[in-house]
Amino acid sequence: MAKKTTNCIWQDRKRHFRLPISFTRYSMTEDRLYLKTGFLNLKEEEILLYRVQDVTLKRSLGQRIFGVGTVCVRSSDLSVPHLDLVNIINSKAVKDMISDKVEDAKDRRRMRTTELLDLDGADRDGDGIPDYLQHDCD
């Protein structure tokens, strides 16, 4: 069986003083975000974009001076619930791109999550429809 290949749409390395002198590499395809670390001992982690719940940007004073930032990705993935893209260039643009690709991935899978403000009796049977909208046909 042939493995489906997808093109890398973004990649960068963790930077020190804006220089890419690190063995930590980040990349993103249309449906996944990757973290690769190590030189001799390699480790690769990935997050499916449709599982991403929140994307935030953090920039300390030192990061702003060197023109880098940290994009924090929180997901529902059990193996990688939190992934930080540390000291990347164009961090604001990367954060926005990840957010857009997450929405695209959710749209392709027809996934939408809803936030319920009042969970007390809103949907007791767990079918996704509030109980007050359902009529008993018995």
pLDDT at 34: 96
CA dist., res. 21 & res. 34, Å (int): 18
Residue 54: other Cβ atoms inside 10 A: 11
pLDDT at position 138 is 46
Q: 34 pairs with which residues across the strands? A: 27, 46
Report pLDDT for 132. 61
pTM (whole model) above 0.85:
no
| Residue-level pLDDT, tens digit, the chain, 138 residues | 555 556 999 999 999 988 888 999 999 999 999 999 999 999 999 999 999 999 999 999 999 999 999 999 999 988 889 999 999 999 999 999 999 999 999 988 887 655 444 454 456 666 666 666 665 554
Question: What order do you get walking across the sheet with 24-28 strand by strand?
Answer: 10-13, 24-28, 32-37, 43-48
In this prediction, residue 110 carries a pLDDT of 83
pLDDT at 114: 54
First to last CA, the chain: 51
Given this model, what pLDDT does residue 111 score? 75
